[in-house]
Amino acid sequence: MPEKKVHTLIVRISILIFIVSAILFLYSAFGFFNNSSSNVNDWLVIFSGVFVIYSATALISAYAIKYQDKRWLKKLAKSTWFLLPLLMLLIAWKADASGFIAIIRIILLCILTYLVLIHLYLYTKPISLTGTLVLLCIMLLGMFLKRNYIAGAGFAMLIGCGLLSVGSLMFAIRCLFLSENQVYFRNITFFGGIILSLSFLGSLFKLQHWPGAGPLLMTSFVLLILGTVFLLFTIHSSGIIEWSPVFKKIFTKILIPWAFIFFIYFSRFLIPDLFDMIWAPNPDRIKTVQTTVTGFGMKDYAIEDKNGLGPIESSKLK
């Protein structure tokens, strides 16, 4: 498929999804802030907001790829590696900013984050694994901090899982422009990237105990199984041996996070103890019941009132 047609198709679908999800988001948010008693508004706020973000991501990716020959855009995206940490330090230093200043900071933070992801997943070499491995390490760090209830766990999880989710979608769209005439490569990289994006998003929601985590995790779990089964049954006839070295390395780049998230999901069946450690519930919901036992573990009891005798507690008989 020619690049121009791919770009046009992505833009049209992204705009349509963005408009519909934005309308649903505004409608549900209006009911949510008006203290509506229905839980429908809560679900609409969450999932319509997710669709707004990811449709905007697809739109940004399509235009970033279209104008990737612009040197100033590449330099700007690369420079955000230094600007983003400075902005994050500024936000941490002046956390008590006024409402208007806080909104400006959030907007700048979103713009710089997208520029970092554009450089990482769209402008670097498609076979580069550095960014993916770094984000996977940050995700593992967040899971370790979360399990041990150490400060900063939520931030690390948001950086690791969140950026991996958005970046996987960006790379999936990039693969549409790299596939040339390899239909199998195009389908497996594009849909594989989308499944990875949903899987990391579901992991983020589940580990952070956010509303909507259950359906999102189950959806990504089913898609991960179906994608793995499809890959196992079709890879032998895909002609992968005849692929170019670049295509093979791109395929490997997708397989590494796929194997990682597959292991995390299926640790429930492979290593149950590890699964309990990873998906432990919120510590606020864990209540340790301490019971005080006396003697040989026998509970005190009261003697019934018979023949005019009042109840006598067994403790008075000792």
Q: Which has the closest alpha carbon to 278: 148, 165, 150, 164?
A: 148
What does the pLDDT read at residue 266? Answer: 77
Round to whole Å and give the CA distance between 210 and 216: 11
At position 83, the amino acid (one-letter code) is L
What does the pLDDT read at residue 43? Answer: 74
Q: Which has the closest alpha carbon to 73: 114, 32, 125?
A: 114
Round to whole Å and give the CA distance between 205 and 157: 10
What does the pLDDT read at residue 182? Answer: 86
Q: Work out the burial of residue 257: count CB atoms within 10 Å of its CB; fewer than 13 is exposed, 13-18 middle, 19 or more buried.
A: buried
What does the pLDDT read at residue 59? Answer: 94
The model's pTM = 0.81
What does the pLDDT read at residue 318? Answer: 47
What does the pLDDT read at residue 20? Answer: 93
What does the pLDDT read at residue 235? Answer: 87
Judge contact between 158 and 204, C-beta under 8 A: yes
Which SS3 state, helix, strand or coil, does residue 127 take?
Answer: coil
Going by the DSSP 8-state scheme, the letter that residue 159 receives in this structure is I
The residues near 47 (Cβ < 8 Å, ≥ 6 apart) are: 212
Judge contact between 254 and 193, C-beta under 8 A: yes
pLDDT in tens, the chain (318 residues): 577 888 899 999 999 999 999 998 888 777 655 665 455 566 778 888 889 999 999 999 999 999 998 899 999 888 888 887 787 777 666 666 667 777 888 888 889 899 999 999 999 999 988 889 999 999 989 888 887 788 888 888 888 999 999 999 999 999 999 888 888 999 999 999 999 999 999 888 888 888 778 888 888 889 999 999 999 899 888 888 888 899 999 999 999 999 999 888 877 666 666 656 665 554 444 443 333 434 444 445 555 555 655 555 444 444
φ and ψ of 187, to 5 deg: -70, -45
Helix axes 245-270, 213-234, angle to 10 degrees: 130
Round to whole Å and give the CA distance between 172 and 54: 12
Q: Which has the closest alpha carbon to 10: 77, 60, 82, 67?
A: 60
Task: Quickly list DSSP for 186-208.
Answer: HHHHHHHHHHHHHHHHHHHHHHH
- Beta-carbon-side half-sphere exposure of residue 95 (alpha carbons within 13 Å): 3
**What H or E segment, with its residue span, contains residue 155?**
helix 153-157
Q: Which has the closest alpha carbon to 116: 87, 83, 82, 80?
A: 80
What does the pLDDT read at residue 292? Answer: 40
Overall residue count recorded for the chain in this entry: 318
Judge contact between 188 and 231, C-beta under 8 A: yes
What does the pLDDT read at residue 30? Answer: 76
Residue-wise over 80-97: b if at least 16 C-beta within 10 A, else e? beeebeebbeeeeeeeee
Round to whole Å and give the CA distance between 22 and 185: 33
Task: Quickly list DSSP for 239-276.
Answer: TGGGS-HHHHHHHHHHHHHHHHHHHHHHHHHH-HHHHH
Q: Which has the closest alpha carbon to 199: 253, 136, 262?
A: 262
What does the pLDDT read at residue 173? Answer: 95
Number of H helices, E strands in the chain: 11, 0
